[in-house]
Structure 1
Amino acid sequence: MTPWLDSLVRPGPAAFLALFFLEAVGRTLLIAVIPLQALESLGDAQNVSTLYFGASVAGLLFSFAIPWLIRRLRRRGVVALGAAANLAAAALLATETAAGLAVGLWLHIVGTACIEVPLNLYVLDYVRRKELGRFEPNRIFAAAAAWALCPSLGVALRAHVAPWAPFAASAAATLVLLLYFRRVRGTDEPPQPPVVPVNPFRYLPRFFGQPRLTLAWTLALGRAGWWILFFVYAPIYAVTSGLGELAGGVIVSAGGAALFLTPLWGWMARRFGMRPMLAVGYGATAGLTGAVAAIAGEPLHGAYLLVGAALAASVIDGVGNATFLRAVRPLERAEMTTVFNTFRHVAQIVTPGLFALLLATFDLAQVFLAGGAFMAAMAVLSLYIPRRM
């Protein structure tokens, strides 16, 4: 076996990049389909926001059980559980019923968490700390093909093959991920004692008592919240403005294609520092997102602005979670990683929750205005990143 192929079947950076790619394929096939299905079933953007809010709250409650599950099932068992949850989610979502939509979305969130948490812990075991800053943009780049192609592919399958087709494709990708994960893991023991996550509540005071970790968490929350806005409300914007479902998928895919630039942004962050890159990324994303509200009567121009905002957001993704990885103390990685990962769950709750309240009074355009204002606040916060980072 050549060294390149050997690196793909043994735990290490190359194998984990492949796993993150497969996980992204299964997820992105549905990333634009689920909001469109929810809009069709529930009638308006406010009801869609409420659905996402409820499913995300239930997903957050489940996530607190993941440390316990890892202790009982070990990390490979939790990955298998996540794959099973994603398969069940695909089956329920394919029923196109209100109950199937609600439970399927929750299982989809649960499955993603059960796969991502163990994979991130494996990364901490097998990727050296000095290489983590390079691994983050490479991880995003490895998934860029999925983010560029699969959202529009999922919508096209729904429109031109069958409503259940994108869910079947997502299930197939999940099965491939599970089989490949079992092959990669082999019988190797980690090069250091395995990292096991702990209950995040126990370490909240210590985590948020460290300003650099608090800053890293807040910036990650802003990044995750904006992408939730993009993936949920860009397809809804396309449909409600008259561009159509396929245009919604194309907008999401075009935005996802910007992730191909993350290695470039990662290199620039190492060359010029994370602080200026994040300030520019958050600031440009803020301006372009807010501008969508200003030209609400020009849907095609709004679509271009959304794609441009995604390009600006990819600058932020080029830095990834490096602000946290640089700030966390090696002996506290397990505890602090568990707390840090809550940013995603909080974003999944806060973003649709706030927008559900906003949409009760205002129209969809104000969602983009609020998103732009929030990202402007993140641009200001990024100026507090220490220069040496």
Structure 2
Amino acid sequence: MSTHVRHPIWLPALRPADARTFASLYAVESFARATISSVIPIQAYEILHNEQIVSILYTIVALLGLSVTLFMPMLIRRFARRWVYTAGACLLAIGSLFFVTHTLTGQLIGMLCRVMGASALSITLNLYIMDHIRKSDFMQAESLRMAWSMFAWTGGPTLGIFLYTSFGIYAAHGAVAIFALALLVLFWTYRLGDNPSIRPGKSRPANPLANIGRFVAQPRLRLAWLIAFGRSCFWTTFFVYGPLFMVITGEGELAGGLLVSAGNALLFTAIFWGRAGKRFGGRRTMTFAYFAMSATLLAAGAVGETVPLLTGAFLLCGAFFAIALDALGSTAFMRSVRFYERAQMAAVYRTYLDFSELTPPLVYSVVLAFFGLGSVFATLGLLAAACGFVTWRYLPKSL
């Protein structure tokens, strides 16, 4: 028959997608994003010369990114997931083209491309994971994914700063384009298929507001969002206020950089937390992690500026427990979402990242008007304690 296609004999030889497949994709993607994670704020400051305006720029991008995230299911509904994932990787590279213009317009568009690309990659990768990994294996798969990303988030920011300061703006952003290209090659090599059951049916609303309503109406999805929001607030605080604390207390920029690098290096413990979750249960492990993280943050807030290095040590302990929530937290969503509305709910679920970048600075700006910098960590500790209580009270024991 003229319509018959004879595939090369090596095509079926590729093994089915497993945890290592998604861990490798996430690791390369992390390199593409982490390499310029420290370069972007420096570049924004060089253009604007004002910290407050830089914060406003980040707020604008975060709000626009939130809108894009909520509309992502409409793109997934319209196109095959593989093309949305491909577009996400391309957006990371396109963003680099705008960044190298070193203008305010280029900076804004570049940051927006980066946010849009990260949103597309995150949502589609989560859909692929839920499509190919059994529910009983989610914890192990997620812990492996976090552990493999350690190399990117530990070495990537340092690599980006080195390229930017030693070889210039083209070298730093050129590295992102290379990593994005490598991600595309790897993704298409794996040839991940789209499961038709994951696509929303025609009767399901694609309207973002309707999707939010569906999400909020499901208690377990609300709980999964809160778990993710709490641990993401920790990382937002750790990456921004950790180095700032070290500089203000006189320990210097190097101490701040080492604090962030040490926190990222702890990602290898995700394997340990994955095994702990499998042995003791996700509910117990995540509750313990939240309460332990709360204790270390309250201790950091109590010590404050009196012994900066001890405060930094408490923050690192908090990072250790936050990684447990990185490794296990998303399983609460993956096991709760209904298969026929995964795309819509995954987009709403990911808004925890946008809100965790918007909410803490707003709250801290009020707290800092009355208390010292250590109050930031104490405030976060109270949030962690609240998340821990809700997790213990409402997360099913069977998780």
1:277 aligns with 2:285: yes
Match among 368, 374, 384 for residue 375 of structure 1 = 384
- Provide the rounded CA distance (Å) in 2 between the counterparts of 1:310 and 1:328: 28
Relative to 1, partners in 2 of residues 1:189 and 1:375: Cα closer, same or farther, differing over 3 Å?
A: closer
Counterpart residue identity of residue 327, structure 2: G
Closer/same/farther in 2, CA of residues 117 and 297 from structure 1, 3 Å limit: same
With structure 2 as the length reference, what TM-score do the two structures score?
A: 0.84
Question: How far did residue 173 of structure 1 move?
Answer: 1.0
TM-score (norm 1): 0.86
- The residue matched to 2:168 in structure 1 has which SS? coil
**In structure 2, what is the equivalent of residue 193 of structure 1?**
196
Letter in 2 for 1:119: L
Larger Rg: 2
Tell me, yes or no, if the aligned pair for 2:25 and 2:187 is still in contact at 8 Å: yes
Residue 105 to residue 370, structure 1, CA distance change in 2 (3 Å): farther
- Equivalent position SS for 1:328: coil
Corresponding residue number in structure 1 for 2:311: 302
Instruction: Go from structure 1 to structure 2 and tell me whether the alpha carbon gap of 1:374 and 1:46 turns closer, same or farther (over 3 Å shift).
Output: farther
Range 127-136 or range 287-296, more displaced: 287-296
Residue 268 of structure 2, aligned match among 235, 251, 260: 260
Whole-Å Cα distance in 1 between the matches of residues 29 and 292 of structure 2?
A: 29
Q: CA distance change for structure 1 residues 20 and 98 in 2, over 3 Å: closer, same or farther?
A: same
Equivalent position of 2:242 in the other structure: 234
Per the alignment, do residues 297 and 54 of structure 1 end up closer, same or farther by CA in structure 2, a change over 3 Å counting? farther
Structure 2 distance, partners of 1:306, 1:229, is 10
Using a 3 Å threshold, how does the CA distance of structure 1 residues 213 and 235 change in structure 2: closer, same or farther? same
Match of 2:183 in 1: 177
Q: Do 1:25 and 1:150's aligned partners in 2 also have CA atoms closer than 8 Å?
A: yes
Distance (whole Å) between structure 2 residues aligned to residue 388 and residue 172 of structure 1 = 43
Give 1:319 shift. 1.2
User: For 1:287, which of 284, 289, 295 is the aligned residue?
Assistant: 295
User: 1:64 is matched with which residue: 70, 94, 97?
Assistant: 70
- Larger mean CA deviation between 154-163 and 54-63 belongs to 154-163
Consecutive unaligned residues of structure 2, counting only runs of 5 or more, are 1-8, 201-205
* Whole-angstrom CA distance in 1 between matches of 2:61 and 2:50: 17
User: Cα RMSD over matched residues?
Assistant: 3.0
What's the counterpart of residue 220 of structure 2?
A: 212
Which shifted more, 129-138 or 233-242?
233-242
Q: 1:70 to 1:326 in 2, by over 3 A?
A: closer
2:203 counterpart residue number? none
Which amino acid in 1 is paired with 2:127? L
Specify the SS of the correspondent of 2:79: helix
* Contact 1:282/1:378 (<8 A) preserved: yes
Write the deviation string for residues 8-28 of structure 1: whole angstroms up to 9, x where unpaired: xx6443322211111111111
Aligned pair count reads 383
CA distance in 2, matches of 1:280, 1:290: 15
Aligned to 1:132: 138
Paired position in structure 2 for 1:336:
345
1:79-94 aligned within 5 A: 79-94=85-100
Secondary structure in 2 matching 1:383: helix
1:120 maps to what in 2?
Answer: 126
Q: Which residue matches 1:351?
A: 360
Displacement of 1:63? 1.8
Q: Determine the structure 2 residue equivalent to 1:110.
A: 116
